[in-house]
Structure 1
């Protein structure tokens, strides 16, 4: 025997039982949608096929000396019985269950009666016992009303043996009573069975309606997969996979919708009867995009076939939120570390910066005195050298002051982050702003800018921490002086409007680009024009001002146009009891 033939033989041996089982399932197949009716139809088909097989084997291979129930009419009666049983089988296969049951019971009854009437045996009463077969079939296959009519016909059929065999009338009558009693008990059993079946069917129907309603409205996707293909999807699954209707998914391979990195895990999970906990996977939608999901499933029977039902929850947004929360936590930790660093280093840097500033000042004064002494001796080279040293000392002093402002701003920011509230007192906004501006008129004159202050004509009572709000005034005015060229105007005003006290700083400086306005209150942010200069701080002034204003339950706003100037407005709640008319001084 060839090697290929030896390999084929076990395969054929394994395939034969499967083919026989497939053939048997095809012979029993009936087109009934209801599960109970389908089971009854399959039972009837199996019984009829078994009876037809027995009749066929008996006709082809007759047993010697076997008594023939119909005597000399055995062949025609056998053909008639087979025809009736075959007709019942075909009716059942076509979906006419009631007709199939009726023909089957008529065939059994006629066979039993004709066996009694035509048999050559004297013990004809033996064949009447075969009436129990159609009676039991009636119990299994008929409804109550049909079973009652059938039993009436069976009892009435005994009239014929009573007329033909009057000598055996007593025995036949006893059998009639027995059959009637069996029929009565059968009717009671059928009635009880119907009640139980109706209640069970009602509960099953209600359960199915509840289940289907739950599945239809469930926000999670629910799918049923059999033989690797979708056989049911709920509306949430249609939306999850990016389909327009369920028809786009039904019948398609489920594994093609799984990200290749997860397909092995999915294949292994299909071998388990149920999942103990949800498993994270990634699916591929019809449009090619992917979604992170959480899947849990179990094996079920769906329309009589083995299948797997899975609940799929979209966790893409949850993962995104978790990632954002993680990033926010990390950002907070960075800010906390930065605040701690600023708080620690600000104290440590203040002393050397102050020393550097004082040394530069002393160096500058000594250089000036030496230069004056050298000028009396007409040593021009020494005077020129000392003049350069004096300029370097002044530059070093300016740099030291700038560094001191940066460190001071960092320290203030760290200090403000640690504060939750300020100690506020009722005061006049005009007075607070006027005191804070006193030192800036000389600075504005030195910078070549005109600084004007227009206070409100009436008091603006507000709750303020004068020291902290003074920093707001300082930061906004210094910002205006820093970015306003010589010859520019800086206007500071206070006024009441819509129940708020407003502090305004307007300049005619270089302005701020529109795309940079949303960021100017961020920490350490400096505009492109600010970065191109060597003045200014670390980008904390406006951030400090905003934090202080918000601690006063106020808000800060900005308007700006490049090359036309910038306006900052601080809005604070007025606490005065008298009414204040809206009054804004002319610019």
Structure 2
């Protein structure tokens, strides 16, 4: 653009200089000719007045001498004619004497005019002639002609033209330099605006246009700068929103999948890959029909597109692990060009269904556990009411059973209340520093009598004398439940061993028995409520089925862990580990 503008300026400047030169040369020639003609006219009038027609009769020498004197003085050709147009005297001796010029239009006009102070000027290619009337005593005596050759005048004008041309060339060069500077000055802001516009088109918004003047270009540059700043802010806002949205999509636990009208995946988060065990496989631009893991989902997508309504259903997966997914499908209209797409959100509700199953089993177990002692109480009470109370032996036996069942019912209700409080985190631990010996000795003392009745042996081993930080009452509950569980599943003649140990950052307690053991398939469930490995043996011992569940929650409340190892028919050991 700068080159085109510079060339345009040169053309305009050159044309202007040429027209100006021609006009000036024409005006100079015209002005010079006017000035020369006027001067010659005035000189002619002066010569005409100085002629003495009385003393210079025709043919006399002094008349010829006057014309020669005038010619030498004026450096011009002087010719004197009478009123008939005949030449009376000529400064050029070569001119023919007596030549008649009556038909000369200028002579004719001069002779016809009445005015005295008038003259006629005639310009030819090589001469400038001035015709002046000669009056004497109010009578028109003739015409005086003064002729000047234009060669000298043209020579002078040529010198002027050469000087003027040189000046015009210099002016043209200066104008060209100024045009270049002006073109650069005018185009530089436009070039900067163009470059900024190109950068904006390439998503580069950091560049700005320097604004020096508040003219049209300055206001345009200001508008471009504001537009660039606005686009940059909007783009940064969009990028931040996109990053936030991407972060939310990628970190959400629910699987998100978006398919277009052709069934191709356009959005898929990490949760989808995890739910279907797809690893790092990229799903973008892949069709659902090409992915066998989405076989059940394809039918829901088709139904959602056909109905153009939201669809909710559950998917049951068996690979890689058994899962239950809640699928929510919503149609989205992308316009005439993209058609109908579907947004799919998958929630893993496997834990919820598992908890619902546990709740159902818990209600059934609680109902069963409560029904058993209540049925016993009712049955023996009815027997006593029907006459059994009269038999002292039967009365005592039935009352002992009623007492036993009522105690078991009381323990069951107490364990349920304890477990409910522990699970709802309403139990506050009173943690104190206490010696391990002072912690275990009273607890074991309370159970020695029952252990002897069952013909069992209780042993204590390991390190002694170190201090721990626990809630004594709740820790005693842990030990009692574990020992009671060992007593229930250890036959007569067996043994129960309590072993303690301390490490750098933790201490541990192990309760091991020589009982019937726990099958490996039952180990993952032994801490569930009401779960029993041997239901008959546990119920006969008066167990509620809640002891190990309470133990697990209390151990976790102390920030500890519990592990179990067992060999069927040989032994079972529970290991508790707590931080120091």
Specify if TM > 0.5.
Answer: no
Larger relative helix fraction: 1
Larger Rg: 2
Shorter-chain TM-score bucket reads 0.3 to 0.5
